[in-house]
Amino acid sequence: MSLRKFITNKTTAALAVLFTVFANTSAFAQDASVAGAAAAPKVDMGEIYKSVIFYILIFLAVCLFIAIIGKSIKVYELSREAQGKPVGINWNRVHASLFALFLVLGLYGVYWEYTVHGSMLLPDAASEHGKKIDEMFNLTLIITTIVFIATHILLFGFSYIYRYSAKRKAYYYPHNNTIEKIWTIVPALVLTVLVLMGFLTWRSIFFKVEDPNHKPLQIEVTSEQFKWSFRYPGADGIVGTKNYKLTTATNQLGIDFKDINSRDDEMADEMVLPVGKPVKLILTSKDVIHSFYMPHFRVQLNTVPGMKTFFEFTPTKTTAQMQQETNDPNFKFIILCAKICGSGHYNMQKVVRVVSDAEYKTWIAEQKTYLNDDLRKQFNLPVAPAAPKAASDSTAKDSAAVKTNQMALNK
């Protein structure tokens, strides 16, 4: 009855006509394009897969299909009703079963995700503190997975077991203080453990006591749209000061060469680190906020203009070691930007190479200093590389710096 109404319905008829017309036009269009392609043996489906009409048609067909199913369900139910039989479909049972099915398939899906996608993740941490982070991650993962599975079994299990039945009445059970206390206190205790571990790890990462005999290697990182620049400290082991007002085309980082510590600072195209030595990163930014992110070392900290941030860590594996461990001869440690910073955000990369101490020493010896002849002229320094005159410089430093600022600003 209802189905017939559906078929004879004017709107449906109109839709059917439209549908046919659309289907035909696109078919004609297809013919034309085939003809245009000059006797191509096969129809090039690529264009069709890209055409919007194709998808709209598929969607309309699906809608029609669903409408037909809907109507036939209705016909079925009405006929059952007319015959005085119990209502056609027990939707409560359908949904209960679907929830049970969803639980089973979902659990399998989670298992599949954990094993398949779970094996595509970052390799084990290549830094000291990273190991602690990984341990804590695993502990948290175990706890949350247990809770996740248990609560979902209860949620969908209860949905299945306690589906509606006209014969039954629900159990009036408004509260139970003991149970409620238990499930307040147990999560609180578990979280306390996690908080304590997290807190201690966090402190161990960010509050390091410096050992004067074993000073970390300082490296200054400067971010800008859309690249990273590194500054190695040179022989003195100290990265010199910089002042953004000194930035020019030749002095892109705004290094203040009046500071004696700056003069031997070296530039590097990639970040090379000696294995097993603590490294102290001094993170700065020229323009907007970026985030210095080295996933393999579990290192991330934002670089903020106008503010220095520090991250100290110790790499424990060389690149060569990692290539062996991951069975990937092309493996590289990388730096990415993790804070939205503009159109080039998705491609702000640098390579990090962790090498043995000896290799590091040969490499660092080859790097050039930032200070070149042009900059020497600008800062009124003797052009020929000479031993820095420490005493006179440090006294005259302040006034000279001011003068240089003016100079830089006037440019």
Partner 1 sequence: MSTIALHDEHNHDHADHGHHKETLISKYIFSMDHKMIAKQFLITGIIMAVIAMGLSILFRIQLAWPDQNFPFLETFLGKWAEGGRIKPDFYLALVTIHGTIMVFFVLTAGLSGTFSNLLIPLQIGARDMASPFLNMLSYWFFFSACVIMMSSFFIQTGPASGGWTVYPPLSVVAKAMPGSGMGMTLWLISMVLFVASSLMGGINYVSTILNMRTKGMDLWKMPLPIWAFFLTAILGILSFPVLVAGVVLMVFDRSFGTSFYLSDIVMGTTILPNEGGSPILWQHLFWFLGHPEVYIVIMPALGISSEVISVNSRKPIFGYHAMVYSLIGITVLSFIVWGHHMFVTGMNPLLGGVFMITTLIIAVPSAVKTFNYLATLWRGNIRFTPAMLFAIGLVSFFISGGLTGIFLGNASLDINLHDTYFVVAHFHLVMGSAAIFGMLAGVYHWFPRMFGKMMNAKLGYLHFWLTFIAAYLVFFPLHFLGLDGVPRRYYAFTEFEFMKKWLTVNVFVTWAAIMAALAQVAFLFNFFYSIFRGKVAPQNPWEANTLEWTAPVEHIHGNWPGEIPTVYRWPYDYSKPGHDEDFIPQTVPFSQTMSSNLPHDFEGNAEAEKIQQDWELANPVEENKG
Strand partners, 284: 222
In this complex, which beta carbon is closest to partner 1, that of residue 185 or of residue 396?
Answer: 185
Residue 120 or 384: the one with the smaller Cβ distance to partner 1 is 120
Q: Is the peptide bond before 226 cis (omega within 30 degrees of 0)?
A: yes
Please identify, using beta-carbon distances, which residue of 278 and 388 lies nearer to partner 1.
278
Task: Identify residues 193-212 at the interface with partner 1 (CB under 8 A).
Answer: 194-195, 198-199, 201-203, 205-207
Instruction: Annotate each residue in 251-290 with x if it binds partner 1 (CB under 8 A) or - if it does not, as one string.
Output: -x-x----------------------------x--xxxx-
Please name the residues in contact with 303: beta carbons below 8 A apart, sequence gap of 6 or more. 221, 222, 223, 283, 284, 285, 289, 290, 291, 292, 309
| The binder of partner 1 chosen from 11, 36, 41, 52 (CB under 8 A) | 52
Q: Given the complex with partner 1, which of 339 and 376 has the nearer CB atom?
A: 339
Q: Which is nearer to partner 1, 1 or 182 (CB)?
A: 182
Within residues 156-185, the interface with partner 1 by CB under 8 A covers: 156, 158-159, 162-165, 168-176, 179-180, 183-184
Class of residue 279 by CB neighbours under 10 A (exposed 0-12, middle 13-18, buried 19+): buried
368 binds partner 1 (CB under 8 A): no
The least CB distance from residue 69 to partner 1, in Å, is 9
Which range, of 20-28, 303-311, 375-383, 393-401, touches partner 1 by CB under 8 A? 303-311
**76 lies in the site for partner 1, by CB under 8 A:** no
The answer to whether residue 65 forms part of the interface with partner 1 (CB under 8 A) is: no
Contact flag: residue 78 with partner 1 (CB under 8 A): no
Q: How many chain residues touch partner 1 (CB under 8 A)? A: 117
Minimum CB distance to partner 1, residue 48 (Å): 13
- Per CB under 8 A, the list member of 220, 223, 224, 274 interacting with partner 1 is 224
When asked if residue 329 is in the footprint of partner 1 (CB under 8 A), the reply is: no
Which 226-245 residues touch partner 1, going by CB under 8 A?
244-245
Strands (E), 205-343: 217-224, 227-232, 266-268, 271-274, 279-285, 290-294, 299-303, 309-313, 333-337
> Pick from 43, 78, 188, 396: which binds partner 1 (CB under 8 A)?
188
| Under 8 Å between Cβ of 219 and 230 | yes
**Spatial contact of 263 and 241, defined as CB atoms under 8 Å apart:** no
Nearer to partner 1, 224 or 265 (CB): 224
SS3 of 329, please?
coil
Contact between 10 and partner 1 per CB under 8 A: no
**What's the token pair of residue 149?**
């599975």
Torsion over CA of 151, 153, 155 and 157, rounded to 10 degrees? -160
Alpha-carbon dihedral sign for residues 169, 170, 174, 179: positive
Binding of residue 108 to partner 1 (CB under 8 A):
no
- Min dist CB 387 to partner 1, Å, is 32
Task: Report the residue from 15, 57, 301, 364 that binds partner 1 according to the rule CB under 8 A.
Answer: 301
Q: Two tokens at 267?
A: 């530039």
91 binds partner 1 (CB under 8 A): yes
By DSSP bridging, strand 271-274 and strand 299-303 are unpaired
**Phi, psi (5° rounding) for residue 106?**
-60, -45
Stretch that binds partner 1, among 17-25, 103-111, 259-267, 271-279 (CB under 8 A): 103-111
Half-sphere exposure of 300 (CA within 13 A, CB side): 12
Instruction: State which of residues 230, 293, 360, 370 lies at the interface with partner 1 (CB under 8 A).
Output: 293
> Which CB atom, from 31 or from 135, has the smaller least distance to partner 1?
135
Q: Name the burial class of residue 407, with classes exposed (0-12), middle (13-18) and buried (19+) by CB atoms within 10 angstroms of its CB.
A: middle
Cβ atoms 134, 298 nearer than 8 A: yes
Q: Is 293 helix (H, G, I), strand (E, B) or coil?
A: strand
Q: CA 108 to CA 114: how far, in whole Å?
A: 10
Q: Where are the alpha helices (DSSP H) in 37-127?
A: 45-50, 52-82, 91-116
